[in-house]
Structure 1
Amino acid sequence: MNIPQRRAIPVILGISNDLATHLTHLYNITVANEETFSEAVAIAIRSDESQKQTDNISTGSSSLTTSNDLLKLLNKRGLRPLPEYRHHVISELIAMVESFDKPRTMAEVKATLAEKVPISKSKLQHILNAIVRSNCVLNDNSFPVLSFTLPFSNLISNDPAVIESKCIEIYVHTVLLIDPDYFNNLDHIVEFQRVIGSNVLDMELIRKIKERLSLSR
């Protein structure tokens, strides 16, 4: 169907609101449930051409040309990289999960982490969003848990470097959804590494993500 992306609204019955939100950010298309469908339709109807031109980041109609564009995009997606806190949060999360006596929800874990890490709940949410959306959180059957309200029992790895690399992957994924040519520019690569606080960037990984997103040219 030839439906503009900003007006396409897949509806999945029975999923929670926060799972709908995570899927929306993960795939850059509005995902709704039976509770949020009406609001999503109303928002789509109100959106017009002038809004599309003035909000390039949210619609994905423009390239990312400055560091402010990059930070604005990640912030809008709930994925501020926050490298000054991310490593600490990952380490504390791993320690908590290793000590689980039963599955817990990420919402419960977040409340405990907020007491352990000197960071605002808003910033903590952004870091945990990256961990959850990069499929690092698993249930007893080793399936990813994308909702903060569903219990999980394990992480994809207890190695902080692995969790960190998965977070970087979701940042790359988010950028490629908006600008598939972003990493073809060396200056953009340097800026991306500065913003996320890591010099580790696998170009083969970028190629594979582009293929998954059908963005290769």
Structure 2
Amino acid sequence: MASPILFFGLLALFFLAASASDPSPLQDFCVADTNSPVLLNGLACKDPKTVEANDFSSSGLHIAGNTSNPEGLSVASAQIPGLNTLGISLLRFDYAPGGINAPHIHPRATEILTVLEGSLEVGFVTSTPPNRLITKVLQKGDVFVFPIGLIHYQRNVGKTSAAAIAAASSQNPGFIPIANSVFGSKPDIPSDVLAKAFQVDKNVVNHIRSKF
């Protein structure tokens, strides 16, 4: 039987390794200094003595965005310098009737979305196996979670405009739109690769690519 010292030593190493992948900030806050040329894991910090309440506040997310675009979608980010290094971000989405937030991935964040107005169909696809679609229609006040790294989307299924607020567990979640990334990359992914992947003719691939 292993000694208690060895057991607790291994246990301590386990927790150390578990926490090392996502270290906590080493200060109360790090308000972003947007004028600094230094790029860290986040932005450089302002002098704490110059920090004020406005660094931790934002306004304007009550204003509906312009959805007159092909996707019928507007995205507005809450610009809050005080969120720098704290591992969270905030967005407002506005959807025209029939508008979509097309399938995409956030590689560094889980997202939680709250519907402010309207009816939204939301969903994400589980990893293999078996690529199952988890989907639900949300109404005003409903909340839905999109797990980190999974393909997900939203669609306005109502007859009026819809709006939602989303928070993500990273100050820089990343955004990978599936269709744009696959068919609009520079340089192009070879057509024969995409033709085999989607099991279609190269002409179909080239036609879709022309849209991006």
Structure having the higher helix fraction is: 1
Structure having the higher strand fraction is: 2
Normalised TM-score (structure 1): 0.30
Larger radius of gyration between Structure 1 and Structure 2 = 2
Normalised TM-score (structure 2): 0.30
